Amino acid sequence: MSKAQALILGQIKHANETLAELKDRHIIFEFNGTRQEFILTAYESYENISALLCNPTESINKLDKEILELLPTNVSLILVIGDARKFVDIEAATALGITVSDTNSTLLGASTQEEIEKKSIEILDETLFTGIPTNPINDPEVVAENTAKRVTELIGSLGAFEEFDVADALAG
């Protein structure tokens, strides 16, 4: 079984041991650049990720429709450390079939930045393992409907290849 892939947007400064454990179980990329750098590299560099863990940064500012549309189509989860509504365009994410979760209500017992980062990484790990997001903000049924529409459109766009005969192409 291949390892799940995720991208951490923003820096994890305090929970380095927990992050190292996550990297043992999954393929984890980290991005700490500017919004423009992300726009230029998002799709190519992270084409196989299925989730994002966002520690909101001033350099990215917000995951708006422009940024969300650049994400690979297999991204199904954005988990935000803090309040996702302030960092993610929930409506655009929902339209793209992306579940958005945050850590606001799950971190009630966490009091230090290290505890917050650690708990957030643990939530990401659990979600990558189970495929079930914790504490979704957007309506999971609407996200599922939009995901089904995107898959149907993709399959429809592949229909043009149905009449393509590999033997004829090789014969030439």
Residue 62's domain is classified under what CATH number?
3.40.50.720
Q: 3-class DSSP state for residue 39?
A: helix
Q: Is the pLDDT confidence value at 131 over 50?
A: yes
Domains of the chain: total: 1
Q: Which residues contact 138 (CB under 8 A, 6 or more apart)?
A: 90, 93, 94, 99, 100
Q: What angle do CA 157, 163, 165 make, to 5 degrees?
A: 125
pLDDT of residue 17: 96
Q: Which range marks the domain in which residue 118 is found?
A: 5-171
pLDDT tens digits for range 20-63:
999 999 999 999 988 899 888 887 889 999 999 998 866 778 89
| Inter-residue contact 55 to 9 (CB < 8 Å) | yes
Percent of the chain residues past pLDDT 90, beyond the cut: 41
From 77, 36, 81, select the one nearest 56 (Cα to Cα): 81
pTM given for the model:
0.81
pLDDT of amino acid 157: 63
Name residue 77's beta-bridge partners.
51, 99
Query: What pLDDT is recorded for position 170?
Result: 53
pLDDT reading at 162 higher than 70: no
* Contact between 47 and 72 (Cβ < 8 Å): yes
| Beta partners for residue 78, in sequence order | 52, 100
pLDDT in tens, 93-102: 999 989 999 8
Q: What pLDDT is attached to residue 147?
A: 72
- CA–CA gap between residue 61 and residue 74 (Å, rounded): 23
